[in-house]
């Protein structure tokens, strides 16, 4: 496998962020919770998860620093990468409203 940068990494990480939001929202909607609380919790949880993946705060495993690096498999032999950390957490609150659009 080879890691490349074709310029689609940002679009892919936004799509993954939107999928995290959708999945978290779906799980929270399974419990009897007011809509505004579901939206607030969805944003908070998605932001926390993406921040860990983006290595915003850093963490350690077995006393050693670990820095996750996000890649996407775009073909059988190609991984799309950014060459460093992702920045999905920056998109959570921009993408959140679309997940909660309600029909009038």
Q: How do the pLDDT tens digits run along the chain, 104 residues long?
A: 777 777 899 999 999 999 999 999 999 999 999 999 999 999 999 999 999 999 998 889 999 998 999 999 987 788 899 988 999 999 999 999 999 986 43
Tell me if 2 sits within 8 A of 77, measured CB to CB: yes
pLDDT at residue 102, rounded to an integer? 62
Q: Can you give the length of the chain in residues?
A: 104
pTM: 0.89
Tell me if 87 sits within 8 A of 54, measured CB to CB: yes
pLDDT at residue 24, rounded to an integer? 98
Q: Give the residue from 17, 1, 7, 5 showing the smallest Cα distance to 87.
A: 17
Per residue, the 3-state secondary structure of the chain, as one string, reads CEEECCCCHHHHHHHHHHHHHHHHHHHHCCCCCCHHHHHHHHHHHHHHHHHHHCCCCCEEECCEEECCCCEEEEECCEEEECCCCCCHHHHHHHHHHHHCCCCC
């Amino acid at each position: 496998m080879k890691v490349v940068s074709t310029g689609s990494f940002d679009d892919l990480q936004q799509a993954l962020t939107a999928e995290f939001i959708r999945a978290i929202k779906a799980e929270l909607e399974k419990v009897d919770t007011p809509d505004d609380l579901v939206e607030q919790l969805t944003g908070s949880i998605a932001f926390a998860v993406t921040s860990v993946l983006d290595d915003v705060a850093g963490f350690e495993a077995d006393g050693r620093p670990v820095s996750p690096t996000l890649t996407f498999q775009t073909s059988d032999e190609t991984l799309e990468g950014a060459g460093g950390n992702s920045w999905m957490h920056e998109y959570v609150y921009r993408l959140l409203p679309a997940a909660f659009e309600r029909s009038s």
